[in-house]
Structure 1
């Protein structure tokens, strides 16, 4: 092993040492702490309190709490599955640009879960989810496009173009510069 390889190996071992020590102490070193707002564990004794706190945060406009409640009702773990509630919370979070909520909403429209199937709506929302960072959204949007008629795809593309133009106009009016101007 050359000098660079040894240094790289040593560096990796030094970075892994705290994780390995945690694993030996009985913890799971591969678990990454959840970044969620809500603790909606169906096994928890305080489930009603956690749900109330999450709903309060969602009602105050917290997009992550809205998304997590959408997941809670979509999955139906710890409460009966309620696609209407899930849809409502995913829509609220989606309107705030929450990528995963947009992705979930798009798949609900695609599969007709809780709403009539609507490929145009699914395609639009999935493309927005992709723009906002949902990793699988482009692949799913491509899958939706395979089920669309040419005129449906044209309508969806026109709507996306209008959304993008509106977004650029808002950027321009926000600071009086063109969105394509170099940064100061």
Structure 2
């Protein structure tokens, strides 16, 4: 399998993981709220303590803390700028359905920041970000689509279709009714 194929498969699996995890937990996997957790914009003398506290939250699975660490390491003005760390934290938060992390991850795939540029992967992640509430992701996904070959867009659309079919099945199995059923 070519490297691009492995990346696409890995990305698709990464996108499906939050659906499966949320289905087991009984929650709605496409709507994950996000609130601030870390105070990483503190004075330099407090930075190490803030990073440590945020890292502890991120390690415990806190998607917002993972996102904020991703932002911290993604910032090119930051002396600790590290695209590999940013990518890792954005991926972790994305797996939990964090819309802004998905938007950043999709943008990184689109622009080839810390990872080889991959329009199919970018399109899929950006569309998921849009579904989760990152409105700016729709415009970026449209930009990506303009640069994609027809067959690439078809593959991305098929993957998204499967993700949404799985999501609808999750909703139906959660309470036994269809999300499109009339209200009682």
TM-score when normalising by structure 1: 0.78
Secondary structure of 1:37's counterpart equals coil
For the pair shown, which has the larger CA radius of gyration, 1 or 2? Answer: 1
Secondary structure of 1:157's counterpart equals helix
Q: Corresponding residue for 2:148?
A: 148
Name segments (4+ residues, structure 1) moved above 4 Å.
none
- Structure 1 residues 82, 42: closer, same or farther in 2, change over 3 A? farther
Q: Which has the higher contact order (CA 8 A, sep 6+)?
A: 2
Q: Corresponding residue for 2:165?
A: 165
Q: Corresponding residue for 2:29?
A: none
Retained in 2: the 8 A contact 1:63–1:96?
yes
Q: Corresponding residue for 1:48?
A: 48
How many residue pairs get aligned? The number is 150
Q: Displacement of 1:36 after TM fit?
A: 1.7
Which aligned pairs between 1:16-35 and structure 2 lie closer than 5 A?
Answer: 35=35
- CA–CA distance in structure 1, aligned partners of residues 80 and 71 of structure 2: 12
1:110 aligns with 2:106: no
Instruction: Let me know the Cα RMSD of the aligned residues.
Output: 1.3
The gaps in structure 2 that reach 5 residues or longer are 1-34
The gaps in structure 1 that reach 5 residues or longer are 1-34
- CA–CA distance in structure 1, aligned partners of residues 42 and 144 of structure 2: 33
TM-score when normalising by structure 2: 0.78
- CA–CA distance in structure 2, aligned partners of residues 46 and 183 of structure 1: 52
Q: Corresponding residue for 2:5?
A: none
- CA–CA distance in structure 2, aligned partners of residues 48 and 77 of structure 1: 17
Which aligned pairs between 1:8-157 and structure 2 lie closer than 5 A?
Answer: 35-41=35-41, 43-157=43-157
Q: Corresponding residue for 1:179?
A: 179
